[in-house]
């Protein structure tokens, strides 16, 4: 008897973290599903939890093992947490990539950085366009967010329609790009939506996220009060914000200079795809330095305190061309991404030390969120009226609260998915039918390493208590033939002597010939001596060289 077709949902990233978004939809009988992937993003590593790891991606082995069945990767929009892993994971998938023009342009730039230009088919879908991939028909419905060309995907299958929101908000006046195509979303609801798969970032925040147009008005006012040089830092990808800042600058006779690589990259991608036609001519950093202070406005990268970005170099006063001083001001037209507080405050302290005034969203209206607050989520459920709410793009606290909200709006089913859970959405009631291998991949230097291998964790242990490396030289009879080499790294000097004494003491009591036993006894003695004299247990390794 042939198996029945099923429609399944599989998150491999983003359900449990804000970042690393990766959702797959499968259609077909259990042993012959065809898949589409919606978004393929990164999460940024943290020095405290994953030292030395710059980006983190989902472990997608479940799909790579059946990559002949993967019809394509569709990007909803161009944020790093949605497209940042495409160039890194594509070699395991080798499928086409689909996106609207601005998003496609930025994906192509990333593929080029990884040496994959020409190898990957990035197919441009028109804004408001559509796409057929096997059993899936996708409509790209314009919505608003803090970037150009965000899309809600209407994913039609023979077993029902999915409204996959991507990242969104309801901005009546986004300033650049399309407004939300509310009638298309409403029409989708009228047709009948099986599942709404929806952004949970602000599910804990009451009210409405606010409009970009009001930020623009406020930036004009705020910049009007400033007399010296002004630097504004914002996410480069927020092209409407860059345009708002440029207009506010122009309103006060200031010339714009872009500072930082991403600023140039994004402005170029926006122009290439038909946006920013009225953006003023920009000055380069050298020209801008010649302008009178009240005639210049720098648009800088580095709002998150990134140590190598433009603003960090300016704050440390070691930028080659941009120098700020008493009477100048820096506006953080951005939010603090949780976890970045201390580096951002450090940056602001350095600016304060230069005598520069710092303006942030804490004290001035210079930023709005790009994600839906609770009133907007309610509107989305009123429009789509799904049988199933699937909160994604959030930590567990966001997903559970989002699910609670959906239930309160009479959505019959609200799932709280976890990465690796395979949910059947149709036919029948939604059901968790499998748990597939999932996890995280670290990009550690050039190398991709599964989190489960414990490499970052082992370095974290070195960071906590350092390392003792002991090398014993033994002769053919297993007798100690030389003074051991004892390396102690990251361990306070007063502990060194205790460890040396313990190692020498253990060697002196050695029973002849038992080299494995000696190595282990030495290891234990060294570790115990460190623990007793220091209160901490370093990593301890013993090597044996036989001569």
Please pick, from the candidates 214, 382, 397, 477, the single residue that binds a second copy as defined by CB under 8 A.
397
199's tokens:
């952004």
In this structure, the number of other CB atoms found within 10 A of the CB of residue 349 comes to 11
Site for a second copy in 467-486 (CB under 8 A): 467, 469, 471, 473, 481-485
Smallest distance from a second copy to CB 332, Å = 12
Cis peptide preceding 427, ω within 30 of 0: yes
Smallest distance from a second copy to CB 223, Å = 20
How many residues are recorded in the chain? 547
Is residue 112 a contact point for a second copy (CB under 8 A)? no
Which runs of consecutive H residues, i.e. helices, occur in 65-211? 80-83, 86-93, 101-113, 182-191
Is residue 543 a contact point for a second copy (CB under 8 A)? yes
Smallest distance from a second copy to CB 224, Å = 20
Nearer to a second copy by Cβ, of 284 and 475: the residue is 475
Site for a second copy in 49-108 (CB under 8 A): 49, 51-52
Please pick, from the candidates 182, 220, 462, 507, the single residue that binds a second copy as defined by CB under 8 A.
462
Smallest distance from a second copy to CB 471, Å = 4
Is residue 494 a contact point for a second copy (CB under 8 A)? yes
- By CB atoms closer than 10 A (0-12, 13-18, 19+), residue 308 is exposed
Smallest distance from a second copy to CB 167, Å = 19
Smallest distance from a second copy to CB 339, Å = 5
Cα dihedral: 354, 356, 361, 364 (round 10)? 160
C-alpha–C-alpha distance, residues 103 and 149, integer Å: 7
Nearer to a second copy by Cβ, of 162 and 344: the residue is 344
Tell me if residue 41 falls in helix, strand or coil: coil
Beta strands 230-233 and 195-199 are: unpaired
Site for a second copy in 224-243 (CB under 8 A): none
Site for a second copy in 505-534 (CB under 8 A): 533-534
Nearer to a second copy by Cβ, of 92 and 184: the residue is 92
Please pick, from the candidates 290, 447, 509, 511, the single residue that binds a second copy as defined by CB under 8 A.
447
Site for a second copy in 10-39 (CB under 8 A): 16
C-alpha–C-alpha distance, residues 336 and 28, integer Å: 43
Is residue 48 a contact point for a second copy (CB under 8 A)? yes
Smallest distance from a second copy to CB 54, Å = 10
Nearer to a second copy by Cβ, of 334 and 533: the residue is 533
Is residue 536 a contact point for a second copy (CB under 8 A)? yes
Instruction: Tell me the number of residues near a second copy by CB under 8 A.
Output: 72
Question: For the chain, first and last CA: distance in Å?
Answer: 69
DSSP 329-395: EEEE-SPPPTT-HHHHHHHHHHHHHTT-EEE-TTTS-----SS--HHHHHHHHHHH--SEEEEESB-
């Amino acid at each position: 008897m042939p198996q029945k077709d099923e429609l399944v949902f599989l998150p491999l990233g983003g359900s449990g973290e804000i970042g690393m978004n990766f959702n797959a939809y499968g259609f077909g009988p259990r042993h012959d599903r065809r898949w589409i992937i919606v978004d393929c993003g990164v999460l940024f590593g943290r020095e405290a939890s994953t030292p030395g790891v710059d980006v983190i991606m989902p472990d997608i082995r479940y799909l790579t093992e059946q990559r002949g069945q993967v019809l394509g990767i569709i990007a909803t929009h161009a944020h790093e947490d949605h497209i940042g892993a495409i160039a890194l994971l594509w070699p395991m998938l080798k499928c086409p990539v689909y996106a609207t023009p601005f998003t496609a342009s930025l994906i192509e730039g990333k593929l080029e950085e990884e040496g994959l230009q020409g190898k990957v088919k990035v197919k441009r879908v028109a804004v408001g366009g559509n796409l057929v991939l096997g059993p899936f028909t996708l409509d790209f419905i314009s919505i608003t967010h803090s970037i150009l060309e965000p899309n809600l995907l209407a994913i039609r299958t023979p077993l029902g329609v999915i409204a996959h929101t991507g990242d969104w908000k309801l901005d009546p006046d986004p300033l650049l790009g399309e407004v939300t195509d509310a009638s298309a979303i409403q029409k989708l609801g009228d047709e009948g939506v099986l599942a709404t798969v929806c952004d949970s970032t602000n599910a804990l925040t009451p009210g409405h996220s606010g409009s970009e147009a009001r930020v623009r008005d406020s930036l004009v006012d705020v910049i009007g009060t400033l007399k010296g040089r002004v630097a504004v830092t914002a996410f480069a990808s927020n092209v409407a914000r860059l345009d708002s800042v440029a207009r506010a600058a122009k309103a006060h006779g200031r010339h714009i200079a872009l500072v930082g690589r991403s600023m140039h990259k994004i402005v170029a991608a926006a122009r290439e795809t038909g946006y920013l036609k009225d953006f003023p001519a920009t000055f380069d950093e050298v020209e801008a330095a010649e302008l009178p202070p009240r005639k210049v406005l720098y648009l800088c990268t580095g709002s998150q305190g990134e140590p190598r970005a433009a603003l960090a170099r300016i704050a440390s006063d070691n930028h080659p061309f941009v120098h700020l001083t008493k009477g100048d001001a820096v506006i953080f037209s951005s939010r603090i991404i949780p976890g970045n507080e201390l580096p951002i405050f450090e940056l602001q302290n350095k600016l304060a030390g230069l005598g520069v005034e710092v303006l942030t969203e804490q004290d001035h209206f210079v930023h709005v969120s790009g994600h839906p607050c609770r009133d907007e989520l309610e509107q989305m459920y009123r429009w789509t009226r799904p049988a199933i709410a699937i909160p994604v793009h959030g930590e567990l606290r966001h997903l559970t609260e989002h699910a609670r909200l959906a239930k309160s709006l009479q959505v019959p089913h609200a799932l709280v998915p976890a990465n690796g859970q395979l949910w059947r959405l149709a036919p029948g009631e939604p059901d968790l039918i499998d748990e597939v291998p999932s996890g995280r991949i670290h990009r550690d230097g050039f190398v991709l390493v599964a989190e489960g291998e414990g490499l970052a964790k082992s370095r974290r242990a070195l960071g906590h208590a350092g390392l003792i490396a002991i090398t014993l030289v033994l002769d053919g009879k297993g007798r100690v033939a030389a003074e051991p080499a004892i390396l102690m790294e990251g361990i306070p000097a007063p502990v060194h002597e205790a460890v040396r004494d313990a190692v020498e003491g253990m060697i002196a009591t050695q029973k002849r010939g038992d080299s494995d036993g000696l190595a282990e006894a030495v290891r234990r003695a060294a570790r115990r001596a460190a623990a007793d004299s220091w209160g901490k247990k370093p990593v301890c390794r013993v090597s044996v060289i036989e001569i």
